[in-house]
């Protein structure tokens, strides 16, 4: 449901192995490890509504939902 972009292919294939080939996945930027707390907060703030949307209502059929990097950068700039 939620992976960084470097792990999209393994996540997709694991979803298929679990019989969930059409599982929608929210994709956040990679890497995570060297990001500041502010960056992580910004990613979470953008990803959470997407995840909630996919959990609570029908999605539009796409498999991957990357977060909006322009909004991410704007949010970081404050």
Q: 73: closest CA among 27, 38, 23? A: 38
Q: How many residues at the interface with other proteins, by CB under 8 A?
A: 8
Give the residue with the Cβ less far from other proteins, 1 or 53.
1
Is the Cβ–Cβ distance between 34 and 61 less than 8 Å?
A: no
Q: Work out whether 6 is an interface residue with other proteins (CB under 8 A).
A: yes
Which of 1, 2, 10, 61 binds other proteins (CB under 8 A)? It is 10
Residues in Cβ contact with 22 at an 8 Å cutoff, skipping those fewer than 6 apart: 63
Chain residues that interact with other proteins, rule: CB under 8 A: 6-7, 9-10, 13-14, 17-18
């Amino acid at each position: 449901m939620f992976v960084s972009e470097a792990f999209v292919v393994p996540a997709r294939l694991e979803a298929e192995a679990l019989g969930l080939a059409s599982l929608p996945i929210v994709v956040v930027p990679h890497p995570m490890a060297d990001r500041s707390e502010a960056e992580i907060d910004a990613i979470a703030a953008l990803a959470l509504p997407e995840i909630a949307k996919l959990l609570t209502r029908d999605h539009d059929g796409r498999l991957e939902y990357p977060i909006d990097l322009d909004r991410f950068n704007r949010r970081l700039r404050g």
